[in-house]
Structure 1
Amino acid sequence: MAAAVRRMKLGSQGMEVSAQGLGCMGMSALYGPPKPEEDMIKLIHHVVSSGVTFLDTSDVYGDNELLLAKALKGGWREKVQLATKFGISNKGGAPKTRGDPEYVREACERSLKRLEVDYIDLYYQHRIDTTVPIEVTIKALKELIDEGKIKYIGLSEASSSTIRRAHAVHPITAVQMEWSLWSRDIEADIVPTCRELGIGIVTYSPLGRGFLSGGANLVANLPDGDFRKNMPRFKPENVEHNKKIFERVNEMARRKGCTPSQLALAWVHHQGNDVCPIPGTTKIENFNQNIGALAVKLTPEEMAELESYASADAVKGDRHVFMSTTWINSETPPLSSWKPE
């Protein structure tokens, strides 16, 4: 099975990862209660043994970093490329974005301790702090590179101009964005910017948070406490409309002899060799199905057909609960305005 997972260069700084990664959030947070630790460690070992070595977490995914620390003991750390994120502070109740130098360093030290590692392969700013010039945040991250605490810098949900300003301070290796058949708002501006600058594109929720795998059935069976229940696209009035998209994808998958999730993931893979989707799962059988997407070939006509099912006007509801914190609102003040306390 391992031979089926090709390797790819992520960005132009030398980072190499498996062409598909694993999003680990749902094991510990947001998608219902945390899953049994022993089962998740077994899953992670299976994933890495199968050739998927690019693992994605964050300091706000519950105890996910602690889970990964346990899973990567005993020689597993050397086999993976570990990505985590900072930038959303939950201190004092309401989440707040922070990109000030003091917080960057604090967050990194905490993640290193929780993950029980000497360095982080790829360290993302999870959300952009619109009160701190991006140059200031990147300079603090560059210092962490110089100290050997992180290897590469990433941004998540950053606008094109934010990416450019950041990249001018230190090369950005990857930009992580939501990108799937039904979330395509990055295509006009952000994707071309990343390609111009030689930045890899890591796509989260490439299966539409599971909707492109299970459609309305997934929504009907979400457990209590699952964050997706708040997603505009998952609201009853929108699901009724959006389920038609899944039904069409499902029908095409039947014709192709694959599953709808494999078809939707294959669509992301066909965006280019600089794109790495990181579908999450908590089940070995779902993971096995997901890596099958690497073998699904799509013609330009099939790509166009798929895209016609999920055009922007065909999808009802925003892609995220907190659209205000996504790339559409990630401009930071000019560097000249920065007066550190």
Structure 2
Amino acid sequence: MEENNKIFDDEEEELYEHFSLDVDPGQTPMRLDKLLAIHLKKSSRNKIQNAIDSQSVRVNGQVVKSSYKPKPGDRIVVALPKPPREPTEILPENIPLNIVYEDEAVLIVNKDAQMVVHPGFANWDGTLVNALVYHFGQLPTSKNGAIRPGLVHRIDKGTSGLLVIAKTEYAMQHLARQFADHSTERTYYALIWGEPEQDKGTINAKLGRSQKDRRVTEVYEDGGYGREAITHYEVLKRMRYVSLVKCNLETGRTHQIRAHMKYIGHPLFGDATYGGDRILRGNMFSKYKQFVENCFQILPRQALHAKSLGFEHPEKKEWMQFDSELPEDMQTLLEKWEAYVQHV
């Protein structure tokens, strides 16, 4: 049975052939998903099933189901969208940083909401990493081939708040282990649509990339796909149409708070990706509608701020705790909502 891995552009340039095989005459009849599980030993059954369901696996150029039993001579191709290319070099840029704390091992930065953390598709420069390279020169980088100096975690563009940067190899390994073990403390403040029924709650729902749009994270209730994700939340202030909540992350999945809050029916205010950029609570009379539109202009992003961060210092072995004020745009937004609900 011939197998290979190469660039695949016979039909669609944007697809990358991750794997292909030609079924030989002596192949024992079996389901497609089981056959692929034998040959793709580094891929889980869930990933294989997901690829088949998303039509990324084709037999003789045709979409088939998992139950299909390949025949001798069939050609099976697994083709997925090309992964975005990491830059081979990070150019230093003189971008100001809001440094909260610094010593020989770690650096704490309060990130502006509009800053992207690391270079990637559509954001190759102007990132936090470009600024770090300029201000600090050689920083340790990740071991997976990506050039992301000092980074052990990240927060989204459109989200403001605290990040810890490793300045030494030892600090990076020590901090990365803490994030992997979920022993760090991360608290976010978010303005959400509506008022949750309970003052406190825990959202335990697996998260994974959407099969329709990989820029979006979705909850997978059946548990067959996705990774464990746990968010603890507490309502700090109720304002009839919106609420200020505190969220503590037990895990750190992509868009975790944003996806979890949408899942329980309370998307983040202003979050265009998860439906929070339109009026979801309240009447649509003209004055209220104009008020909300003005609020969207004050904060044209998701209302989310990484407020506090705690971890064990890699060198001192002491617990370090940092807190930050809400950014001006989010503070102004909260004041406007508080004033509005007092007069309606």
For normalisation by structure 2, the TM-score amounts to: 0.28
Higher relative helix content: 1
Q: Which of the two has higher C-alpha Rg?
A: 2
Flag the structure with higher strand content: 2
Report 1 or 2 for greater relative contact order, CA contacts < 8 Å, sequence distance ≥ 6.
1
How does the TM-score come out when normalised to structure 1? 0.28
